Amino acid sequence: MIPRDAANTLIRLASGFPVVAITGPRQSGKTTLAKAVFDEKPYITLENPDEREFAQNDPKRFLARFPKGAILDEVQRCPQLLSWLQGWVDERGLMGDFVLTGSSQFNLIEGITQTLAGRVGRVELLPLSASELAATDKLPDSLTQMLFQGSYPALYDRPLSPQDWYSNYIATYVERDVRQLIAVRDLSQFQTFVKMCAARTSQLLNLSSLGADCGISAVTAKQWLNVLETSYVITLLRPHHRNYGKRLVKTPKLYFLDAGLAAWLLGIRDAQTLETHAARGALFETWVLSELYKQRLNSGQSLDLYFWRDSTGIEVDLISETARGLQPIEIKSGSTYASDWANGIRKWQSLAGTESLEPAIVYGGRENFEREGLKVWGWKDTATITTVG
């Protein structure tokens, strides 16, 4: 197992909450992390028909089997168990008593929010971060390979090709998770929708255009987009709310949370194709955003990431809100620094004034350096930039 940065956050939450829930996309390593951190607890999956029937028919006796708590996987398969779990942990008063994980995130989150409010600490686990891969010498040597391969753990601990793994991942996701969440009569149409979303990663969201390209209404497109967001396939990056007296774009930007998955959906079947592919810049921006998300989620911090764009198209890719102020971050896939990369940041700084912290640029090269008052970070050191400010 590749050690996960979220382990310390999980341990911290378990000291203050009777229940800890690990959510995240399918195959991101939730069960593996739970077993590694709480190796003394028995592991029960409610995918097992016998265990599920026991929990449904006699939840009190089911829970009584675990005097020192347990890891309950796929707990959303037995939602009524959560009500019994509430009374059980209240009576025992033990911290870190039960650990819950599940792949159908919507049902799990809804259940713990309604039933276990105030009793559960939650960790959101995305696929492997660059820092986790680097710590075990598994970080790909080239940016192109990193974007192509993506970050799912299975691709680093098994002899699997990305194209084989992602094709099965999407099939399983659509057949199991999507069918549980919405009534999709034509699954092939939903798969087309997911591919159209991949073609728009790092772009402003236009629901009408997205729906039209897939032959569905904007209302349906919004519903399906919510499914992708709830199941951690995509995220919507919101525009920063400060106006500074200028007309700003108020539409969110769509990002996939794994560049490798987006690349596969775009039909990219080898790393070499990515060297000159038109989507390379968008996939690099997608990868950097997901890395910044992972760093924050793994440490239990709020995301507090936005973008800024005015009505003339001047843009800063990311604005990070920190306790000391606002940090602008520009993302460029090129491997050689160009002075015009800072144009958007300079414009924003003239409006933000003293609120602006030291700006940064993440680029597709390897070296870290300072240039024209900017910190420029190579792609392998992306995680470092999250500590600035």
Residue 174 confidence class, pLDDT cut points 50, 70, 90: confident
Q: What is the pLDDT of residues 136-154, one digit of tens each?
A: 999 999 999 999 999 999 9
Strands (E), the chain: 19-23, 43-45, 70-73, 98-101, 120-124, 203-204, 234-237, 253-256, 305-309, 315-322, 325-332, 360-363, 369-371, 374-378
What single-letter amino acid sits at 347? K
Q: Regarding the domain with residue range 7-124, which homologous superfamily does it belong to in the CATH classification?
A: P-loop containing nucleotide triphosphate hydrolases (3.40.50.300)
Extract the runs of DSSP E, i.e. beta strands, from 60-103: 70-73, 98-101
Mean pLDDT, all residues of the chain:
91
First to last CA, the chain: 32
Q: Which of 90, 115, 112, 87 is nearest to 99 (CA)?
A: 112
CB 332 within 8 A of CB 363: yes
pLDDT of residue 243: 67
pLDDT in tens, 254-293: 999 999 999 999 999 999 999 999 999 999 999 999 999 9
Residue 115 pLDDT grade (very low, low, confident, very high; cuts 50, 70, 90): confident
Maximum Cα–Cα distance for the chain, whole Å? 68
pLDDT for 333 equals 96
- The pLDDT-based confidence of 249 (bands split at 50, 70, 90) is confident
| Interstrand relation of 70-73 and 203-204 (parallel, antiparallel or unpaired) | unpaired
pLDDT at 10: 97
Q: What is the pLDDT of residue 388?
A: 45
Residue 325, pLDDT > 50, answer yes
With CA atoms as reference, report the closest residue to 360 among 299, 297, 288, 302. 288
Least reliable range by pLDDT among 15-19, 73-77, 130-134, 347-351: 73-77
Name the region of 325 (left: φ>0; alpha: ψ -120 to 50; beta: rest).
left
Residues 6+ apart with CB under 8 A from 355: 242, 325, 326
Q: What pLDDT was estimated at residue 389? A: 44
Looking at the chain, the whole-number percentage of residues with pLDDT higher than 70 is: 96
- More confident of the two residues 35 and 186: 35
Q: Where are the domains of the chain?
A: 7-124, 130-232+256-272
- With a CB cutoff of 8 Å and minimum separation 6, the contacts of 225 are 197, 205, 207, 210, 234, 236, 254
Query: Looking at residue 38, what is its pLDDT?
Result: 98
Is the whole model's pTM more than 0.75, yes or no? yes
- DSSP letters, 208-245, are HHHHHHHTS-HHHHHHHHHHHHHTTSEEEEPBP---TT
Q: Among 8-12, 101-105, 198-202, 353-357, which is the least confidently predicted range? A: 101-105
Which of 97, 86, 77 lies closest to 15 in space, CA to CA?
Answer: 97
Region for 300 from its dihedrals, namely left if φ exceeds 0, alpha if ψ lies in -120 to 50, beta otherwise = left
CA angle at 294 for the pair 328 and 130, rounded to the nearest 5°: 95
Other Cβ atoms within 10 Å of 370 Cβ, number? 9
Return the percentage of the chain with pLDDT > 90, whole number.
Answer: 75
What number is the average pLDDT over the span 330-343? 94
Task: Fill in the amino acid letter for 260.
Answer: G
Q: Which two tokens stand for residue 117?
A: 């409010």
pLDDT bucket at 297, cuts 50 / 70 / 90: very high
